[in-house]
Amino acid sequence: MNRRMVIVIGGGFAGIAAAVALTKAGHAVRLVEARGRLGGRAATLIDRTTGEPVDNGQHVLFGCYRETLALVDDLGRRDALTVQPALHVPFIGPDGVRRDLRCADLPAPFNLAAGLMRWSALDMRDRAAAVRLALAVRLGRGLPRPDETVDDWLARMGQTRRIRGWLWDPLAIAALNEPPGSAAAEMFTPVLRELLTGGRRSASLALPRVPLGELYAEPAQRYLAARGSSVHLGRPARVTVDRGRLIVRAGDARWPARAVIAAVPWHTFGALFEPAVPEALASIAASAAAMRPVPIVTVNIWYDRPVLDMPFVGLVGRTAQWVFDRAALVGRASSHVSVI
């Protein structure tokens, strides 16, 4: 096989996914990462006080994350995920009362419809509004306008205040990392479509039973090494276009490449190139530089005993998006809870 050398710059989740896919397709890959570890923001850090691993990044997956789950399969780590047979999300409302959304083990969208029909957080008007929205999304009706926010679109689609507060708003924040009043509805409807039109497990939650480093980063490094690709850590990279040829410099190394994939944070894209961004990429670099971050804050709390009877306690009020108890998954005596 004629193995073409491809260099992937950036060892976060996107870089790992690209390197694994290219290696699987038969290419020789160099994965170059400026930090001393892979994983990027989907990483495991060690808490200085307790010495326990703490995850930063995507704690919870949906069954409709097909490409992510396919990557986990390629890395041989599907056994490290617990996948719900059907969606079950406990909610704790502002009044402190727990009301579980428990869907049926049925094909989509009947699984979600059955769950909504018996969810005690809603009345019949709320349920009817949710079903109307679900049908519209499945049939491609009432599509968002280009300038419409999630708030505006949900209002236009006749969604009640209660169903928005209990379901659509938290889902929009979790999926888009922006408040519904500013998030683009055009980005939200594909998420709903995946949940409503996928397979039986599309809306189910998949929870890692191991730290994220053991789910993605470490298996990826082993996967690449076993198939003739390589990982280079602690090497900030720069790209030069020399008479039509791509040259990547990383420390003392200088590598020609048939192709380069930049899987770096948007704000560092322009700085990859020396002496300057190629003219063909100038507009992309300018657009990337104009982007602004929307941070996610995670608070980790340790208890001296288990505090939850299940690994996922769902949504709490309107401030805590997800509460996740790893102790309930891995069977530890102490309870480590992440509030995002």
Please check the confidence at residue 46 and state whether its pLDDT lies above 90: no
| Cβ pair 294, 70 in contact under 8 A | no
Average pLDDT over residues 22-31: 95
The token pair at 228 is 């003739």
Of 188, 194, 118, which Cα lies nearest the Cα of 159? 188
What is the model's pLDDT at position 1?
Answer: 39
CA distance 116 to 221: 42
| CA-based nearest residue to 168, from 145, 147, 149, 142 | 149
Closest by CA to 229, choosing from 31, 29, 91, is: 29
Task: Check residue 123 and give its pLDDT.
Answer: 94
Q: For all residues of the chain together, what is the average pLDDT?
A: 86
Give SS3 for 33. Answer: strand
> Sorting pLDDT into bands at 50, 70 and 90, what band is 312?
low
pLDDT tens digits along 117-167: 999 999 999 999 998 998 899 888 999 999 999 999 999 999 999 999 888
Q: Residue 3 — pLDDT band, cuts 50, 70, 90?
A: low
pLDDT at position 44 over 90: no
Q: Is the pLDDT of residue 282 over 60?
A: yes
- Give residue-wise pLDDT tens across range 56-75: 877 788 888 899 999 999 99
User: Contact at 8 Å (CB) between 188 and 195?
Assistant: no
Section 194-220 average pLDDT: 87
Band (pLDDT 50/70/90 cuts) for residue 335 is low
With a pLDDT cut of 70, the percent of the chain lying above it is: 89
Lowest mean pLDDT among 149-153, 220-224, 305-309: 305-309
Q: What's the rounded mean pLDDT across residues 93-107? A: 83
Identify which of 109, 69, 308, 267 has the alpha carbon closest to the alpha carbon of residue 200: 109
Residue 302 CB partners (closer than 8 Å, separation 6+): 50, 52, 334, 335, 336, 337
Which amino acid is residue 271, in one-letter code? A
Q: Tell me: cis bond preceding 109? Omega within 30 of 0 counts.
A: yes
pLDDT at 314 over 90: no
pTM: 0.85
